[in-house]
Amino acid sequence: MQFELTREYIDDLRELIDQKNENEAKAMIEDLHAADIADILDELNTEEAVYIFLLLDGDTGADVLAEIEEDDRRRFIKVLPIEVIAKKFIDHMDSDDAADLIGGLSDEKQEEILSHIDDIETAGDIVDLLHYAEDTAGGLMGKELVIVNENWTVLTCLRELSRQAEDIDEIYYVYVVDDDNKLIGTLSLKKMILSPTSAKIINIYEPDVMSVHTDASDEEVSLIMEKYDLVALPVVDSIGRLMGRITIDDVVDVIRDEAEKDYQMASGISEDIEANDSIWLQTRARLPWLLIGLAGGILSAMVISTHESGLIATPAMAFFIPLITAMGGNVGVQSSAIIVQGLASNSLGFESTFSRLLRELGGACVNGITCSSLLFTYNYFFSDSYALTISVSAALLSVIIFASATGTLIPLMLNKIKIDPALATGPFITTLNDIIGLLIYLSIGAYFYGVF
Amino acid sequence: MQFELTREYIDDLRELIDQKNENEAKAMIEDLHAADIADILDELNTEEAVYIFLLLDGDTGADVLAEIEEDDRRRFIKVLPIEVIAKKFIDHMDSDDAADLIGGLSDEKQEEILSHIDDIETAGDIVDLLHYAEDTAGGLMGKELVIVNENWTVLTCLRELSRQAEDIDEIYYVYVVDDDNKLIGTLSLKKMILSPTSAKIINIYEPDVMSVHTDASDEEVSLIMEKYDLVALPVVDSIGRLMGRITIDDVVDVIRDEAEKDYQMASGISEDIEANDSIWLQTRARLPWLLIGLAGGILSAMVISTHESGLIATPAMAFFIPLITAMGGNVGVQSSAIIVQGLASNSLGFESTFSRLLRELGGACVNGITCSSLLFTYNYFFSDSYALTISVSAALLSVIIFASATGTLIPLMLNKIKIDPALATGPFITTLNDIIGLLIYLSIGAYFYGVF
């Protein structure tokens, strides 16, 4: 059942496009899932992709438009006539996907597209959704939901269902509201099927319903849906009226994006980029962190230069500079990654910062003593300077302990003052630990040598 | 509707447990969601947690047991009588959760628990599931599904549904099979509700159904469910017979775990650990990478020591060692993170390794020239050695380009020989780039100074 995209497939399709062989090209993509077609368009150039895109029927086209990468979407919208976008595709999209799509355009383009949509209700839903910020529950939600009144019977519900469900792909829950449209519970399809048709909703609905406010953040939404294993989550306004619903497929994207973002930050990448993005985007996302690293390197050079005379006297001290900075960096990144992940998945619990730090330092002592003993043994046999052997090992132990403390404390502190703690990981913490590690190393060296 | 766990709440609950005040303790937890109760147990010690656990009814207890962290689960199973676990909890669990739980125990314990389960069908399902490896589709799937035969009518289906659905929390799809139990399609509840009761399934079912083989990997399953926005995915054996279904909530965990694992690897953490794990676990997960870093540091020391005489002549060369190693490390991590993420989300497409490398090198040139020009300017004004100014900047440019090449190629190569490319990120690539960076730096320095 599953389609596997191959290079041959793309080459064949390209040839058909070249020949303007509409029928065979159509036959090649006809039975594919929208997500697969989106992958195919991703491999074609704009002209070819638009050609294929215009072969799709409205429903498939709308699904594809919702699935493709944002960059691809932008290049499509640019070349397609506004009326085609509106009539052929937006009209067939779920309201949340349509709002996402339109939200990225200029105000004039938005108005133009909306003016071409025939169904006033659809246009109204999209306009409503455009008010919400993209990364809030309001921005994630769609307007497609099945709503029943608490005073109806199962029979009325079934009738309403056939009416309301026409435009909805899949129904997971039926939401129950009171006369003021306030959300009071859910009704599972299973329950509805298994109850007599004369039963009143008020007697069979499930009053325990999890919901979020329209301005809840997308992270909050994903944590709730993940924790409570929800497939759909209703969104309410400040007085509890049902405004829309968020489905799990949109949240899966948020979860992956969040996890990827933290990883990218830790790797010194400041924007959400992908392997296939342009050189320009890739450079822009990476350069800021490299400049921090550069500044850190220059500071390190200044720190070392203050010990120039010592270095001339005992050049062997320079040999272990990379070891000290690398170990400080590694330990700092390890400690901060654990904290950042714990904060992201909300699993840190109630342990106080102090006891967490103590535990972290305990671990650092174990690792630090292991590593510096090994280094001591190495230098004992292979170095002829006793002072060097002691200073390098003592410095390594101190640097490991210090780096694990900063790695733990800095993300916790940033989180407290509402700055994304992931900022602390990667180049930032590595650079800081480099400089402090050098200070520690050179000071200890100076003490033991008496020359630095 | 949402419960927020506070320290006060835990303190209050603890007091009630101390007083053995069963009724009030029960009242405090009664209306909570299983996921919230699991969070509460996580904050209590084993004795307290077991006390609360035994207050729960079977259904809630089973849900809580499925939700709690694996460590917590293990300490529970250790202290609770086997019969209580079997009769009170396992009997109420979904088959996949039960199999996960039992799978972690010794063979004798498994048999003992299974012998206490009254429902032979449930026990049989669990035994079936125990055959599959945990990280395959078979290991993820549950046996709870609603199956209808293609030759039935909607009326028969509805009747069967009430019988089969008794033990199933939520029905997302009804699966349609032929007389050999081979999966041939799905039927949505919506369709069933909206069709006349006399309609034959064969005329209304949806034949396009995505499925996976029992031994598909969990990563494959998550990529399919994510890509096609599925809430449930049926699992079939090698001749296409329907064996079970995987639900999205289990896959959300896989997605988060995968993303976290890559991030942890990049941060030099080799096992899946959390902030609250013991010092011992934390140390064990981190030490291997630190030892790699240590070995790399010693190698770096050897590299530098071969240039000892040069360092004595021009100690300023030592000042920029941390800058060179740090920049090489940062660039390598940036490049490899992009590739590792692209491989994980299967979004690399068909670009050849060569053209990918070319693009990466293009970006590296832009960043490298920017950084080395800045460094050149700095040294031009603040250093008195022309040779130093040139060698440091030239070395920086080479190191950035070299590091971006290794960062791109190594994960791609590892992936080709079926080793997890995430291994290449973090300490491994940083260490490699440190050593090569130093070699480049010192050689360039030696050339320009004529003394090294």
Using CB atoms, which residue from B322, B329, B330 is nearest to A300? Answer: B322
- A106 — contact with chain B (CB < 8 Å)? no
Give me the domains of chain B, ranges plus CATH numbers.
7-136 (1.25.60.10), 146-248 (3.10.580.10), 279-449 (1.10.357.20)
- A255 — contact with chain B (CB < 8 Å)? yes
What is the distance between the alpha carbons of residues A358 and A363, in angstroms, rounded to a whole number?
9
Q: Do A268 and B311 touch (CB under 8 A)?
A: no
pLDDT of residue A6: 85
pLDDT of residue A169 exceeding 80 = no
Return the residue in B294, B312, B327 with the most chain A beta carbons within 10 A, the one to mutate for interface testing: B294
Instruction: Return residues 178-207 of B near A (CB < 8 Å).
Output: 188-190, 192-194
A341 neighbourhood in chain B, CB within 8 Å: 260, 263-264, 274-275
pLDDT of residue A246 exceeding 70 = yes
Confidence class for position A452, pLDDT limits 50, 70, 90:
very low
Residue in chain A lying closest to B359 (CA): A279
Count of beta carbons in the 10 Å neighbourhood of residue B346: 14
Low pLDDT (below 70) residues in chain B: 1-2, 165-172, 271-272, 275, 450-452
pLDDT of residue A382 exceeding 60 = yes
Instruction: Return residues 19-38 of A near B (CB < 8 Å).
Output: 31, 33, 35
- A447 — contact with chain B (CB < 8 Å)? no
- B334 — contact with chain A (CB < 8 Å)? yes
A170 neighbourhood in chain B, CB within 8 Å: 188, 190, 231
Count of beta carbons in the 10 Å neighbourhood of residue A131: 10
Residue in chain B lying closest to A360 (CA): B279
Average pLDDT over residues A362-384: 91
Strands (E), A261-399: none
Please state, rounded to an integer, the average pLDDT across all residues of chain A: 85
Q: Do B334 and A305 touch (CB under 8 A)?
A: no
In DSSP notation, A6-47 reads -HHHHHHHHHHHHTT-HHHHHHHHTTS-HHHHHHHHHHS-HH
**Sequence-distant (≥ 6) Cβ neighbours of residue B440 within 8 angstroms:** B324, B395, B398, B399, B402
Confidence class for position A109, pLDDT limits 50, 70, 90:
confident
Average pLDDT over residues A356-367: 88
For residue B295, what is the enclosing H or E element?
Answer: helix B279-305
Give residue for tokens 């990448």. Answer: A269
Hey, which residues does B200 pair with through a beta bridge? Answer: B153
| Secondary-structure breakdown of chain B: helix, strand, coil percentages, each rounded to the nearest 5 | 70, 10, 25
Q: Kindly report which listed range (A210-214, A425-429, B318-322) carries the lowest average pLDDT score.
A: A425-429
> Which has the higher per-residue pLDDT, B371 or A80?
B371
Using CB atoms, which residue from B263, B297, B367 is nearest to A259? Answer: B263
Return the residue in A93, A294, A348, A425 with the most chain B beta carbons within 10 A, the one to mutate for interface testing: A294
Q: What tokens appear for B30 in the block?
A: 């009664």
Tens digit of pLDDT for each residue in A303-351? Answer: 998 888 888 888 888 999 999 999 998 899 888 888 888 887 777 777 7
pLDDT of residue B165: 66
- A372 — contact with chain B (CB < 8 Å)? no
**Beta pairing, strands B232-236 & B212-213:** parallel
CA dihedral A90, A71, B349, A261 (to 10 degrees): -110
In DSSP notation, B114-136 reads HHT---HHHHHHHHHHHTS-TTB
pLDDT of residue A179: 92
Confidence class for position A165, pLDDT limits 50, 70, 90:
low
What is the distance between the alpha carbons of residues A71 and A344, in angstroms, rounded to a whole number?
27
Average pLDDT over residues A92-112: 84
pLDDT of residue B452: 42
Q: Do B1 and A209 touch (CB under 8 A)?
A: yes
pLDDT of residue B166: 64
